[in-house]
Every structure is written in C-alpha cells, then in structure tokens.
Structure 1
Amino acid sequence: MSQRNTIRVSELAITISLFEVGSTTLFFIGGEAKQDAWLAMLLGALAGLFLLLMHLSIHHQEPALDLFLLFRSYMGKYVGTFVNLLFVGYFSYEASRNLRDFGEITVMTLLNRTSLWIIMLIVILVVSNSVRYGHRVLFLMCVIFLPVMLFSYVLISILIPVTGLFHFEFMFPVLESGWKPVLNAAIPEIVSFPFGQTVLFLVFYPYARTGKKLNKAVIISYIITALSLTFINQLNIFVLGPKIALYSTLPLLETVQLIDLAEVFERMDALFTMLLFLGLGVKMGAFFNGATIGLEKITGIAYKKWVLPVALLIYGMSFLSPNYTHHIVTGRQVVLNYLFPVFQIVLPLLLFITILIRKRKKRTNRSSPEKT
C-alpha cells in the first residue's frame, strides 16, 4: 500500500463522525416513539456500537484485508465475488438515495424552478470528480468540513433555547406507552440508519496507519456523534412537539426557520441547508468510493476507470422512485427494515463467524502433534 493512500487515525475518526451525521438531521428519527425518540436513538446507537465493535474485531483479525478481500479470502472465489458484487450494489444504492435527497432538498428550498435531473447531474459530476482522486481526498475534505459543521450545529443548538423556542415539557411523559414503541422504532430502523452504515468503513480501515489508537479513536468518535445526533434529533420534539415533528417533511429545517434573534440571526435555514448539503456530499462520496474500490478489487481494473460507470449507475438508480413521497416510503419502510440489515448485520456476522472458525481450526492443527 502506497504511503499517499494511507490516512491518519484522526482523519478516519472525523470522517466516521461526519458520515454518521450525513443526512440523519434531514429526518426525525424514531418518530414512532413520539417524545421518547431520544430513548429509541440511544437504543439504536447502542446496538450500532456492538456492530461497530464486531467490524473492528473483523478488521483486527486481518488488518491488511478490506471488506472485499475478506469475503474473497474466507468465502472462496465465487461466493466471495458474488457477495462483493452485492456490496457494490448496496453502496451504489445508498449513494443514489443521498443523491436523490440532495436534489429534492435543493428543489424544495432553493431552486424550485430548476429540473431535478439537472441538479442531480451537477451533483454527481462534482462528487465524481472528487472520487476520481481517491479516498484520501474524501478524508482530507472531512477534516476541512469539521469546524464548519461543528460550529454551525452548536450555534443552532444554542440559538433555539435562547430565542424561547425550547419547550422541555414536550419531552414528557416518558415511556407513556411503555418500551414497545421505543423498541419498534429502534430496531431495525435506527440501527440500519444511520448507525449500521458504519459497515462501509471495513473498506477503509486497512488504509489507516496501524496502531492501538484506532479502536479508541473510532469508538470515541462514534459515541460522541451518537449522543450529539440524539440531542439534535430531540430538538424537533422540544420545538415542534411529537405530532408535528412526526408528520413534517423536513422537521429540523422547519425548526431552524423559526429562529429570529434581534434581527441579527435570521434566515438560519440557509445555514442548515448548507449543512445538509455538506453532510449528504460526504455520505455520497464515501459510498461512491466504497463501490469503486470494490470493483477495483473484484476485477483488478484501476478504480479511476470505474468512476464513470458507477456514477451512471448511481445517477440512474436515483430515479427509481417516481416522486419524493415514494422515495421516502421506500427508504423508511422497506429497505431500512428488510434490505439494509442483510448487509449491515447478517453478512458481516457470517463473515465474523467464518473467520473465527477458520482461525480456530488453524490453531488446533498447529497445536496437535503430527501423526507419523
């Protein structure tokens, strides 16, 4: 592995954080739990943490192999290649959903007279250009974006209580309907989005400079981001209330639009829209990189030659839904519950078990005396 492709552990941790934020703030997560959405978020984050620990354990079993090489190595040439192609399709589909979100938000908030296909074409061209230079560019961009996103979200979190929009009483009663709605909201939906998506980073862990700091940095980054997302998500409840937040198309955007402080802090929705664009761009770029790296590992053809075909695939899949409502319903009710868990839980768990069994057999064979 060339030195220019390696990434610092700090860069990896920052990218995981921005990746998790991504498009998460676009939605009201765990709305079925109403005012207990924060409990559903924490429960989903806890389950996602166990998945992350499994991913890290898989990586440490074979530090030099990424997700695609792991499946190829432990599941054989044909089964491994088939699973790898499935992951390429999964990463591409995730990127296409981000692209559609990007286009729809732009039409709803800024360019309501511009055709959706033109906006998404421009976005995919910009993201493709960054992917063409490799994953290192993505990680460096995240380092640049971090201060902007951190400052902006902190500012929004401060301005909402200061302007009197914060209603803590909307959070009560806690567990009004018991734990069942919380569990139903958290599993598998919140696990699948956003926390289970960290499976993508099995592609990037081998590029990180080895050291004991990897686990600590990734886990701390994950926990801080999960707690921050839980608070930001709960702002929808504190301002709009559980019923309005649940049925709102862009709840946090509506919340931010209410900020008006001394005629100085106005039109904060423009700032929040920029944050959404940055988050969606990071997430789309990460999945795009994952798909091109996968095709390079499967075929042996340089990733640069796969950028255009994957871009066309992502762009084409972004039109699978005829309208935004269908896009949201498909995403929140179908793929999150039935498709994504296969890639985030089932296949990594199968790989983990296979690695442990194979390693144990090797140790047993080495320890047993040779028969003459």
Structure 2
Amino acid sequence: MEQVKISTIQLYVLMVFFQLGSAVVVGLGLQAKQGSWIAILLGMVAGMVLFWMYTRIHLYDPENTYMDMLQMAFGKVVGKAVGFIYIIYFTYLAARILRDFGELLLSATLVETPLFVILTIMILASFYVISKGIEVLARTSEFYFPILTGLVFLGIALLFASKAVDLKKLQPYLGDGWGVILKTAFPMTMTFPFGELVAFLMLFRYVNKTKKIRPTGYFAILTSGVMLAFTAMMDIAVLGAETAARTTFPLLMTISHIQIGQFIQRLDAIGVFILIIGMFFKVSIFYYVAVSCTASVFNVDKFKQLFYPISLVILFGALTITSNFSEHLEEGMILVPFFLHLPLQLGVPFLVLAILAVRYRKEFNAVK
C-alpha cells in the first residue's frame, strides 16, 4: 500500500465530491416530489449514523484497512471471501458511475460520439491520476473545489435573475405524504450516496489526523446533504415536481432555463462541467478502492500493477451493465439498494463492529 498522507481538508473535499458525484446528476430523491428535500435530509442523518459506524471500525486499528478488519473479525478465510465480494461491489459501482458519465455526455453534448469512446477517455483520465497515487487525487480535488463552488453559486444567482424559479411549485411541502418520503429516504437516499462512504474505510489510514476523521466526515456529509436537498428544491421550483421526476437529467434541464436578455443563455456547458468533475472523482475513488482491496485480499505487493486489469473490467462493465439507460436507472433504484447497498453498507460493517467490540473488550479485560 502507499505510504502517503492526506490532510483533513483534502478528505473533506474528496468526500463532498464523492457524495455529489452521480447523485446530483440523476436527481436524487425526486420520486418523493415536493418532499424530496426532506427525504434527502433524512437519508443524510441516517448516513451520519453509518459514518459513525465506519469510523468506529477504523479506530479499532487505524493502521489497517477495512480488508484487514474483515479478517480480524471473521478469520482469514471468511474475511478474504467477504473482501472479494467488496472488490466486486466497488468495481461494479465504478462501472455504474462511468456509465452515468457516458450517458450524460451522449444526451447533453456529444450526441454523435460512440459510448465506447467517451467511457474510454474517462477511464484513461482516471487511470492517469490515481496511478500517481491517492495524494495526487486529493490535491487535484483541492484545486477544483473553489472553481466548482463558484460555478454553483453563479448558477443559482443566474436562475433567480432569470426569474425561472417559482417557489410556489414547492407546495405542498410533503408531496405525496410521509409514506413516499420515508420510502425514498430508506433505503434510497440513505444508501446512495451517503452509505457509499463505506469505500472510505480503505482510505482512512492515509489521513494525517485520525482524530479529525469523524468531525470532518460529518461536516462533509452535512455539506453534501444540504447541497443535494437544495438542488432538488431548485429542480422542482424551476421544472415542477412531475417534470423533474420524469426527466433523466433534471439539473441540466434546470440550468437550460437560464436566460438573461439575449446574451446570457445556453449555459448547459457549465452544468455538464460541474457534473463531469463530480463523477470523475467518484469513479476514481471507487477505482482506487477496488485496486486497494484486490491488493489486500490477494497479497499483491506492487498493487499499481492492478490498475491495468481493473480499468478494463470497469470499462467492460460500464458498456455491458445494462442494454439501455432506462434499465440502468431502474436497476440502480430498485435492485441495488436492497441487494447490494444494505448488506455491504450496513449488514457486514455492523457485524464487524459487533465482533470487534466483543473481542477487544475480552482482550482489555484479560490485560486488566
């Protein structure tokens, strides 16, 4: 594994980009219509609970990764088997987000470009950055963060200046009622994107201040949750609840409503740029974590050699994951949260935490 360190500020920026990533692209929580922002905030609170569990697992042995903790909890054989499942999981999620990236560009700008070409360019860019190490990826995120923050505030200001925002469309505030909101929050917004922070269990060991990981993570989750909730509100206030829920990329359609006079309009490129950067960092983190897990499970010393085969697996998976984007979205909303996210974000970490808590307590009592 790499012997590098990243700062808590870099951890914060990586987590914010990671959570926004594809969540802001597909219109998180809009199934709850006007209550989408409530569903997102409820998912955010649940995500903080999950993050507490992840950091608690890490604090049992800050020098080791999640793959090591699995073997400590379940034994070497079972631990490696569960670790292999996580390799598939992180690789699959990297492929899903890469497909989101390709579909976004196909529908927004590069309509005549083959999907294979778009995905190949993205995975090559990701390969180049993370092959330099996680520290380079972290520094890159620091560079882009103020730029994207400025563009976000500029976009919000231009939307209001265009008089495209109608706050009356946010009523009724509960949408179709608490039942739909709770169903959207649990497990949808809880697991995506907040529960996906389980991937950072492979990165915590690189943070230079272990005691600052938890408060930094809480602040990053709060930032992302509020931004996602506000984005959902803006989508509804501009497009209306029904249109926003049906639109494949609601944020892009929202930005397309910016028009001031005859010279400030067609700012879709700014939205595309923001979305591309977010997805780039999310793909790169899942990609890096998949490589790290593989190196740990199979005891590969020079783990950078694994970047080549895993990049090909991610690319192939993104191309073949589903036959069309509608099926891709349906799979992500119905099957993935229940059959992948809940077991691997909640079930397995909870078991690891429970076993380690009992084991460490026994060892402490024996020493005492």
TM-score (norm 1): 0.95
Pairing 1:4-15 to 2, within 5 Å after superposition: 5-15=4-14
Which residue is equivalent to 1:160? Answer: 159
Structure 1 SS opposite 2:172: coil
Q: Is the 2:50–2:195 contact (alpha carbons within 8 Å) kept by the matching residues of 1?
A: yes
SS in 2 for 1:212: helix
**Alignment match, 1:328:** 329
Report the 3-state secondary structure (helix = DSSP H, G, I; strand = E; otherwise coil) of the residue aligned with 2:264: coil
Where does residue 356 of structure 1 map in the other structure? 357
**Residues 118-137 of structure 1: pairs in structure 2 closer than 5 A:** 118-137=117-136
Alpha-carbon distance in structure 2 between the residues aligned to 1:134 and 1:341: 30
Distance 2:180 2:91 in 1: 32
Q: Is contact 1:44–1:195 with CA below 8 Å preserved after alignment?
A: yes
Structure-to-structure mapping, 1:43-54, within 5 angstroms: 43-54=42-53
Cα shift at 1:336: 2.2
Aligned equivalents of 1:300, 1:211: Cα separation in 2: 25
Structure 1: tracts of 5 or more residues without a match: 368-372
Aligned 8 A contact 2:170 2:236 in 1: yes
Gaps of 5+ in 2: none
Of all paired residues, the percent bearing the same amino acid is: 29
**What's the secondary structure of 1:197's corresponding residue?**
helix
**8 A contact 2:33–2:176 mirrored in 1:** no
1:309-356 per-residue CA deviation (whole Å, 9 max, x = no partner) reads 101111111122111111111111211232211111111111111111
CA contact (8 A) 1:157 1:232 kept: no
**How many Å separate the matches in 1 of 2:12 and 2:164?**
33
CA-CA distance at 1:71 after TM superposition = 0.6
Q: Is residue 236 of structure 1 aligned with residue 235 of structure 2?
A: yes
Per-residue deviation at 1:120? Answer: 1.0
Alpha carbons 1:7, 1:208 under 8 Å: kept? yes
Which residue in 1 is equivalent to 2:289?
A: 290
Shift of 1:2: 6.5
User: Deviation of residue 211 (structure 1)?
Assistant: 4.5
- State the aligned residue count: 366
Cα distance between partner residues in 2 of 1:2 and 1:182: 42
8 Å Cα contact 2:30/2:232 also seen in 1: no
- Give, in whole Å, the separation in 1 of the partners of 2:2 and 2:79: 25
User: 1:370 corresponds to which residue?
Assistant: none
Q: Contact 1:21–1:229 at 8 Å: present in 2 too?
A: yes
Q: TM-score, normalised by structure 2?
A: 0.96
Matches for 1:1-372 after TM superposition, within 5 Å: 5-175=4-174, 177-301=176-300, 302-318=302-318, 319-367=320-368
> Is the 8 Å Cα contact of residues 163 and 260 (structure 1) preserved in structure 2?
yes
- Runs of 4+ residues over 3 Å off in structure 1: none
Mapped to 1, the partners of 2:340 and 2:213 lie a distance apart of 30
1:244-277 per-residue CA deviation (whole Å, 9 max, x = no partner) reads 1111111110010010113343221101001111
- CA–CA separation in structure 1 for the residues paired with 2:198 and 2:313: 21
Check conservation: 1:192, 1:337, Cα contact below 8 A: no
Answer yes or no: is the 8 Å Cα contact 2:7–2:209 preserved in 1: no
Deviates more, 1:117-126 or 1:193-202: 117-126
CA RMSD in angstroms, aligned pairs only: 1.4
The answer (yes or no) to whether the contact 2:21–2:282 under 8 Å persists in 1 is yes
